[in-house]
Amino acid sequence: MPPPGGFQPLKYKRNLPVRGPGALTILAGVLAVSGYGFYRLAQGNLEKRQAQPAELAREKVWSRIHLVPLLLAEGDRDAYRRQQAALEREKEIMKDVQGWVPGQSVYHKPKPTDQTIVVL
């Protein structure tokens, strides 16, 4: 039998604290950051459009001209490093073969061939 006056009420509601900003606050922040980004993009496009096109084109051409020797030297260093690594691998692999000369071509062709690798 239940006690006189009935049972005490059960606490069934969850007591969860509010954690972090609300959805509208996050949405407002995302819209503000996106709006600022689009504003900066539009300002850059206007600046590019209003600047003298010949000056920007000349600057781009000269920057590429000045970068060419650097890029060629970097490619040469990389090709040399790869060639030396391949020679070391060949020495290690063919160390037990009689009469094998590491780095010597297996073809009887006096004309040297280009060993560069082009990655497209």
Cα 50–Cα 44–Cα 66 angle in degrees, nearest 5? 85
Question: What is the mean pLDDT for each group of 10 consecutive residues in the chain (120 residues)?
Answer: 86 82 95 98 87 79 90 92 94 91 79 63
Q: Measured between alpha carbons, how far is 20 from 23 in angstroms, rounded to an integer?
A: 9
pLDDT for res 18: 78
Report the pLDDT value the prediction gives residue 40, as an integer from 0 to 100.
97
